[in-house]
Amino acid sequence: MSLGVGLAAAAMAWLITPDLASTYAAHVLPPLLLSGVGLGLVMAPAIAVATAGVRSAEAGVASAMVDTSQQIGGSIGTSVLNTLATSATTTYLHGKLPNESTVAQAQLHGYDTAYWWSAAFFAAGLLITVILYRSGPPTGGLSSSAAVPAGQEEAGTAPTGPGH
């Protein structure tokens, strides 16, 4: 998982290099592909760790919680990065005549700011995964009785509540 986070951080830093004369195929597509590979290496292990040790009867709820957390995190992340980009663009334009060239350079500056922050967030994630994540199958968490398949719980320990 650390490799994937590192690749994603590198991809975000790489996206800072394009200028106004850059082309999509040469300057944008390669870091986007690298980011896709990196995030692909992150998602499966992250979901496996997030749902490890969950009873099969609760697997749907655990999976839904992971999915909801990803959606909310993505929304908040997009909002934060958009705010950083627009603030940087506005700051760049302050006191300058807003001609076509200046506005284009200001937008590029805004993107650069958002990509730097993205790279920093991924670098922090890399540090966290290096410190906390251990390779191999997830272990620990719940006791061995938590892994009992649904419908095979001991008497008196069956789930209760709505839908049970």
Residue 40: per-residue pLDDT: 95
Residue 141 predicted with pLDDT over 70: no
Residue 151: per-residue pLDDT: 55
Length of the chain: 164
Quote the tokens at residue 62.
Answer: 């655990």
pLDDT band at 153 (very low <50, low <70, confident <90, very high): low
Q: Are 62 and 54 in contact (CB under 8 A)?
A: yes
DSSP state, residue 153:
P
Residue 145: per-residue pLDDT: 47
- Which pTM was predicted? 0.79
The 10s digit of each residue's pLDDT in 84-135 is 999 999 999 999 998 999 999 999 999 999 999 999 999 999 999 999 888 7
Contacts by 95-102, CB closer than 8 A, 24 or more apart? 101/20
